[in-house]
Amino acid sequence: MSAYAIERAIDIDAPVDVVWRTITEPDKIRTWFADAVELDARPNGEGTLRFRVDEPDPLVVPITVVTVDRPRTFAYRWIPQPDRHPGPGNAVLVTFTLEPDGDTRTRLRVVETGVDELDWPEAEKREYVKDHLEGWAEHGGRLQTLFEDTAAS
């Protein structure tokens, strides 16, 4: 196991096909993850995630889709540098794996790999892992709440 492991399991009160759309469709991604999303959700498709769009220095993250295996696996590479094209060796791979839990629940596993391959100082890698472990906890919570709110209405 890498010293830079980023992994989170999220139990969601929604069927796999609903969760799939929520993690692959731009209008749905905006409800729980990024402020603005452009995404071609096909293998080799490209896109951009924008965070903190109302702040003076928004974060623009280019992505390149790697795997689309509906409705089980969706993966992309991303790099928090808007002037770079994400690829092997310069970007982290984010993999979403969906597992049904009965007919109405899904376990979503999010794993980021490749931090150890980045040409970054060790302190920057450790900070990235810390930030992203916290970030997936926050965004996973938003995703859970999104479906809890839907089930309650």
**Is residue 42 within 8 Å of 115, Cβ to Cβ?**
no
Nearest to 144 by CA among 8, 12, 9, 25: 12
Portion of the chain with pLDDT greater than 90, in percent: 89
Domains and CATH numbers, the chain: 6-152 (3.30.530.20)
Residue-level pLDDT at 82 = 83
Q: Are 76 and 95 in contact, with CB atoms under 8 Å apart?
A: no
pLDDT for the residue 149: 62
Q: Which of 49, 20, 23 is nearest to 35 (CA)?
A: 49
Beta bridge partners of 62: 48
Per-residue pLDDT at 150 exceeds 80: no
Q: What would the pLDDT profile of 25-55 be if each residue is shown by its tens digit?
A: 999 999 999 999 999 999 999 999 999 999 9
Is residue 123 classed exposed, middle or buried when 0-12, 13-18 and 19+ CB atoms within 10 A define those classes?
exposed
The yes-or-no verdict on residue 3 having pLDDT over 90 is no
> Which 8-state DSSP code applies to residue 115?
G
pLDDT in tens, 83-121: 889 999 899 999 999 999 999 999 999 999 999 999 999
- Across residues 71-78, what is the average pLDDT? 98
Q: How far apart are CA 68 and CA 87, in angstroms?
A: 16
Cα–Cα distance for residue pair 77/85, rounded to 1 Å: 9
**What's the pLDDT at 153?**
47
